[in-house]
Structure 1
């Protein structure tokens, strides 16, 4: 993550280039979260009709807790989907930025030759898949948030880890799409390097909680993801140019193969 931020700060023109899509998306998300905060009490009352006959104190505590957890859940969801929406809105911007990062490092893949609408459609489908996988964790964690003590300590920590992992998956999509790696194989590759994925994504999730920070860090996050993918490809490239993706859940081995024509570098190539 630090390497990506240093890269964009050292290339000021590309830093400004990458700010535009993130700024537009941030304004939209800020407006949505503000509206949810304004209507959260009404939503809580609508969702808990069984508490209408409770004592006013307990009813207020329950609905207040529900409203807070609802807004926090929306905030975490916005952190996760912010990247997906920003990448979709700024697909041409971030594709060019990612290419520039790889060109500066040498041996940039040529990418797939397909029209812009098809690129946007592929990005949307990939983002929906990532969101669906993330919700499989986020929904149970939301309800576990009502459990005393654990819901206020362990659950938020797990939520940040889940968000960080899938945020990394979203960010590496730009460079991995250029190599022709499907989203399921990207997930399998990152599972073999969970610590790396969390180390990259969790600090970004925490930083994205601060207003406007997501906008400022987004160009460097895309640049850092491009560098991260190069490290993954170097570490997993064998003598025949295949990527060793490790094991998938259930014990089945995943062997995502990278098309040499898409830019896979030979073993020993520098990622620095």
Structure 2
């Protein structure tokens, strides 16, 4: 398949290389930052850097919109598509209906729209096993959805047909599991750094926590700690220390402790 990318951030960086590795052709890349487009193109075999959003002469069978959700409407206002091309968004929460409405308002030619959502956290330069990444696809017509499923299967062994409402719930769960947990790791890192303790000391604990949660299927079954045991004295000590260092951290600690207690602790 011939594929073009609008956007050259973390998602495009990985998807473009995964597609090319599976035998697809990445024909063009556009980025509002030309340097990002050049960096991504340098990782690919024979890709043109598109200078603007006029893709009317593009031979791409699929155009991937790998841009932040906040920039999506602005991009669709400016982009010129070739007729009847397939256009997919990589967003977890933007609905297919929203994408279809935006293209109907702003595109002068009819296009086929869909969603191609990889459930993974991406960072440029990091190595990822694409075969294990879940890809969630949805399209406005069955033929296009089947094409997207087949495309996903060229890079991954885990492909789901998922509608917009299901994908939105998945996106919320992924935000909690990934973004929120990583933020908590960063707080733990900063707390240790203040007291000149290396973050590495937590790594075996973090690795075991992830392994246990995945193995159990339901992470609640493996929940341990002060709130589960009802050790309110120690919790109070922790809260006092955090309050002196950073009241926001103390508030996060309190909210999570209350949530764990309400689920696990019985008087």
TM superposition score normalised by structure 2: 0.27
More contact order relative to length (CA 8 Å, sep ≥ 6): 1
TM superposition score normalised by structure 1: 0.27
CA radius of gyration, larger in: 2
Higher fraction of strand: 2
